[in-house]
Structure 1
């Protein structure tokens, strides 16, 4: 029972616009934050958005924030959504569609139809996200064309300084105190992509609560050893193990595709 209580205390906070670091992406964040209000004020010329970026750029975070902070009816869609969820509903004002590049053939057709319905409905908006620019997106030609019709934003990657700031902010939201050298240590000695770093932060949070230890470099080393992750000083670890964008299958740190805390 005590262990379950400890794990509950370490639950990561939801994705919001406030805990998204907008470095280089201020225009997009501002437009998404104000989208619902602009729709209500109407008519709004720009009601369809396509957001793309590299793994860890935060596109899923922004979509979850859009839905989470909506005051009306909003719907989040992804490859895991049922096909009928892609149907147009006049009660829904905001549609957020993640991982367009991974949609099934049937889902792509449904999204194409949904896009057309939204374009024909002044009170509705659609924000889609994928891993490449529309012209390079691996989807149906007609859907690729539609996604390129509206506003297209390329999420700019975070600098190392911004990544360190994100880690400190995320730790603060969890009530977690990091030693001053922890963010820099993680960036130098562990994978540098945000999904891996945020997953490790979640694990450090849980381990710290369970063991009642401060989060410092010694704790990090113990967590990496305990969880059988590539150890930073392991001479046999490959470069991708330590600093690449790839997550190791079976490591226990692979985030779910649409977990809002993973900065995908």
Structure 2
């Protein structure tokens, strides 16, 4: 059995009752009023995503072991909330510094970004509940231990979350080709950096809710950078500017 998944009704139910972090639960498709309404109610109560799939999909995922129409993916660690990140910033007496990821699907990209977030001292990472990689074992391994130190929140609506952060005084910079060169932008103060998906970039609604778009200069033949590389450069530019500002204002 893959150590990132549990299958069978009783094992999945016991996992949920234990309070351990869960990324998502898969069910074999059932009609209304199916046998798993008790578990689905528990998932809704804990805001855990779930999905209905055909039986062949679960057969394949479990190597045809007895799954009883149910499989749960275990998270590498507990998820935090956006409020936890703001509280951490307040505890450190720092302006909030948060990374938001729009539908990043490669676990190696998320793991690498968690490592950079820890390195620059940012206060957390926000990912969507749908169409995004979660805190899997691969992410944990790629992060080289950073997953244990970085707050990660999963939210239902990135745009709504962004709007709430703006109300709390955060300025939002979206990393997008054609934007102002990041090295010439003011990235100090309360800041959210938005990085788009590997293929599509930042979605339209999210882009429209950014306060500004910033980009990295490209002098070579390729037109874009890997999401984790671009995100890491952006995060370090924020750190550089914060460090410069602190140095200049120190007595």
Q: Does TM, scored on the shorter chain, surpass 0.5?
A: no
TM-score under structure 2 normalisation? Answer: 0.28
TM-score under structure 1 normalisation? Answer: 0.27
**Higher relative contact order by CA 8 Å / sep ≥ 6: 1 or 2?**
1
Structure number with higher strand proportion? 2
